[in-house]
Structure 1
């Protein structure tokens, strides 16, 4: 004996959206509420609701003003990520999708309410730990030079090249030699690197003021 299927075409449409809503709500549980409204009966439109703790509504409750505006064709079929609040005042991000029958008539809607309250403290936490205060540092660079030994290596290599090229191994550098070394370093951009002045002064056995004087003489010459 066969049992006649008494479900209408609209019933199948609502069943489809209900199954989709259930999967989506489970995927984003417990933060996403999904509601299926049958707007043919707006005062008792909710026929399915998942994660109902977000707004506290239940099956048999009526639609919101959004549903009535949809019925009046005052809103587009798809509304995505609009700012909203739950009945308790918690912030939500909501979306709504109109459900139409086979004749393109509005019969319902699918609503999504994403609870933002659990994430407000997280946002505040990230804002706190990522906040910087450059004003306390004045003209200090935004990026520190962490690998100071790399600069020393570069300067030592340049100095050794000069010493070897001019056969000065084991000999003291004259003022002219030191000026030549500073000139080479300056042309190759080493002088502009953070920490280079102190390191080069040490390598050449001169004071920082003397090194700055050499640089000034080179630039003016």
Structure 2
């Protein structure tokens, strides 16, 4: 049974989903179960998640950096939809006596509005004119989601294995190597980055990270020990 305060937000989640419409996904997370944190979700076709899905990479990072202690929300960061479309994501931190007990997240897919804008421009001008002369620099708009190459967008998954696999894939891409060609030093760097990102807050993540890195669970625990980290409970 969710915290009574969060129980009230379940109806808020449903209300916001119906009020804002199908381009807005609204998800409610219960922080007492990071592996199955979503307890309510509206318009879930946007991320493809269901009730019982785990925390995202961004939520795990927030837990690690404890930014929720000095902020009440985080606005307009970059997410990625189930269909690979860029989302504008925002999260409100639900606290009780200063303790983070939940997160209310809204993911807005504005792709069809951008497509409509492009189509209108092409009605007025030939495509070549638009491509040559109507180039909008979206970086100048602070309310647009931005995905710098060095920053991974929020990704959405229904299982711990997929969260871990995605996190490892991002690290391998960043290093430009494949799992079977990693040196012990490179693997240690990846484990350190994954730890900083909060992946090991998810129970069972060590097993999934080991599989994604083509190594044993013992190797992951050894790297965590090298980092002087508390070994996650499995």
| TM-score of the pair, normalised by structure 1 | 0.51
Write out per-residue CA displacement over residues 187-207 of structure 1, whole angstroms, 9 at most, x where no aligned residue. Answer: xxxxxxxxxxxxxxxxxxxxx
User: In the alignment, what sits opposite 1:117?
Assistant: 111
- Residue 17 (structure 1) aligned with residue 9 (structure 2): yes
2:41 is matched with: 49
Name which of 17, 28, 32 aligns with 1:36. 28
Match of 1:93 in 2: 88
Residue 49 (structure 1) shift? 0.5
TM-score normalised per structure 2: 0.48
Aligned residues: 124
- The offset of 1:19, in angstroms, is 1.6
Q: Could you tell me how far apart the structure 2 residues matched to 1:30 and 1:53 are? A: 9
The root-mean-square deviation of aligned C-alpha atoms, in Å, is: 2.2
Greater relative contact order (Cα 8 A, min sep 6): structure 1 or 2?
2
Q: Specify the alignment match of 1:70 in structure 2.
A: 62
Larger of the two Rg values belongs to structure: 1
- Partner SS for 1:54: coil
Runs of 4+ aligned residues of structure 1 deviating over 6 Å after TM superposition are none
8 Å Cα contact 1:39/1:71 also seen in 2: no
Query: CA–CA distance in 2 between the matches of 1:63 and 1:130?
Result: 45
